[in-house]
Amino acid sequence: MELYFDGAATTPLLPEVEQELTSSFSLYGNPSSLHAKGVASDRAIQTARRAVLGNLGAKSGRVIFTGSGTEANNLAIAGVLRRFRERGRHIVTSAIEHPSVLEAVRGWQREGWEVTFISPRQDGGVRAEDVLDAVRPDTVLVSLMHVNNETGAILPVVEVGQVLRGIPKTLFHVDGIQAFGKLDTAAAVRFADLYSLSGHKVGAPKGVGALYLRDGLELEPLCYGGGQEFGLRSGTENVLGIIALGRAATVAAEHRVHNLEVCSALATSLVEGLEAISGCMVQRPETASPYIVSAAFPGLRGEVLVHAFEAQGLYVSTGSACSTRRGHVSRSHVLTAMGRSEAEVTGTIRFSLGWWSTPEMVEQALSVVSEQVHWLMGVTRRGR
């Protein structure tokens, strides 16, 4: 049995999505073409757009399809700052955001914008009052993730959004990439001006994402051209990728409650099992997504654990896959911001669940972890 526990990095292709793709290969027409082939492709895109809106729980607004969640985040940030730069030169975000947000705002920081980075609590959560206290009259944008991709911490996006709705000059962007299709996002989307998502986190292929915009909000595009996607993402659309995302959104919406219940039970079993392993420190935020469990093994290195587990058929991650490169694993900025020790940071691994996860997989994963950690600890002690 393959023990895949890296769904926060990417998910397997949903069977329903694979079937949808197979039946859609004939839709090769350019959606901008006026003939029947183009119209058929355009209709498929509009169907997917409605499916994404439905999954989000949005009653209105627009969905802009992009090439990834990273592009969606960058479009949200750059699109707002370019459009509304006369309102001020200040951005508020947290210190535990995904690199696609952190690096984007740092780029604007180098261009003279001031950025306030909100520190997390020791458990990885972020206080709404800390975010709101940082907002100033010249704050143009607040960007906050819905679920942290390393610890699973659920951030107070609804509470922040409710207050910011009363400050119309400050726009609110939510990176919902780890929440879309897994949690109920309706309340967050209701109070967000922009909400990002990614296809390959919910059973669609890589190479497609989307950005939700509330009604009436206009942005500056990242690229210019034929005016596709409401003029915000020019270029011929990735029809098959968009169809896949739409189908994945529909399937996720249909099974969200069931998957949430199952994964909540599995996460509880996983946490209890990890806590019973000598030397393991489970890093569980007070309010956390059941899809992500972070654990530290001080004295061992995360990348060593990843490969030791892989040899036994267990696939996990050291943290954000986007900050890991072959031959080099970057130090987690999330755990560092939480104040974790060097040994905890370097010894952390992430387990992430999904619709494919079962109790048997959790049981076998815990057996692998216990066996390999015990063996590696012994090797480490003998080597000293």
How many angstroms separate the CA atoms of 174 and 318, rounded?
Answer: 24
**Contact present, 314 and 365 (Cβ < 8 Å):** yes
CB 49 within 8 Å of CB 213: no
Return the residue matching tokens 């049981």.
363
Q: What CA–CA distances, in Å, run from 330 to 122, 295, 327, 354?
A: 21, 17, 10, 25
Compute the half-sphere exposure of residue 228: CA atoms within 13 Å on the CB side of its CA.
19
The CA–CA distances, whole Å, from 185 to 53, 154, 195, 202, 287 equal 11, 12, 10, 14, 15
Rounded to whole angstroms, the Cα distance separating 346 from 329 reads 9
Q: Do 248 and 43 touch, CB atoms closer than 8 A?
A: no
Which conformational region is residue 57 in: left (phi greater than 0), alpha (psi within -120 to 50 degrees), or beta? left
**Residue 322 designated active-site:** yes
Please tell me the number of Cα atoms within 13 Å of 116 on its side-chain side.
Answer: 17
**How far apart are alpha carbons 69 and 205 in whole angstroms?**
12
Helix (H), strand (E) at residue 210: strand 209-213
Q: Which of 223, 263, 280, 322 is catalytic?
A: 322
Using alpha carbons, select from 243, 364, 348, 240 the residue that is nearest to residue 312: 364
8 Å CB contact between 42 and 31: yes
- Spatial neighbors of 78 by CB under 8 A, at least 6 apart, are 104, 108, 220, 222
Q: Please choose, from the candidates 246, 146, 151, 147, the residue with its C-alpha nearest in 3D space to the C-alpha of residue 192.
A: 146
Annotated catalytic residues are 322
